[in-house]
Amino acid sequence: MSFLSSVLALLLILAIRMYGLQVPGSGIKTIEYPRESVPSIRGKVVRNGTEERLQGVKVQLLDPGSRKVLKTTTTESDGKFHLRTRNGLFRLRLYLLGYDIVEIDIKVDGKMRRELAIDLPIGT
């Protein structure tokens, strides 16, 4: 079997396993599983007391015990952010120059689908 044929065969097998594809006449049978949802935190950040969405807010995912930063992202122009993680308990820290730092505890469960709405107060 040539190298190209081997690569194509490997890609076909991966596609079958990932997407549950059936290839007629190939003798390959697949088992379909429900797709696993990737645990993640989604949210939008707005200026406190308004609906004004804030761009450029630093969002950090912290270990609640050690307070070590595990992941970091920044809100987009629509104020939204997305962090992929694992299931468990975490602390979320949000900050932007001119605003107070906000920290919240959060439980991540891959089965839950929700978007956080976080108000960021203007600095005092």
Average pLDDT, the chain: 78
The burial of 36, by beta-carbon neighbours within 10 Å (0-12 exposed, 13-18 middle, 19 or more buried), is given as: exposed
Answer whether residue 18 shows pLDDT above 60: no
Closest CA to 41 of 100, 76, 95, 91: 91
> Tokens standing for 101?
């730092």
- Band (pLDDT 50/70/90 cuts) for residue 113 is low
What would the mean pLDDT of 115-124 be, rounded to a whole number?
84
For the chain, the structural domain boundaries read: 1-35, 40-120
What's the mean pLDDT in 16-40? 50
- Confidence check: pLDDT of 73 > 90: yes
Beta bridge partners of 54: none
Which pLDDT score, from 0 to 100, does residue 29 have? 42
**Closest among 110, 41, 47, 100 to 73, alpha carbons compared:** 41
| Residue 39's pLDDT band (cuts 50, 70, 90) | confident
Tokens found for residue 37 = 């949802």
CATH hierarchy code of domain 40-120 = 2.60.40.1120
At residue 112, the pLDDT reads 65
Pairing of strands 58-62, 69-74: antiparallel
Residues 58, 69: Cα–Cα separation, whole Å: 12
Instruction: Answer with the residue of higher pLDDT: 22 or 37.
Output: 37
Q: At 68, list the tokens.
A: 């070590």
Question: How much is the pLDDT for 116?
Answer: 84
Q: Is pLDDT above 90 for 56?
A: yes
**What is the C-alpha to C-alpha distance for residues 43 and 12, in angstroms, rounded to an integer?**
37
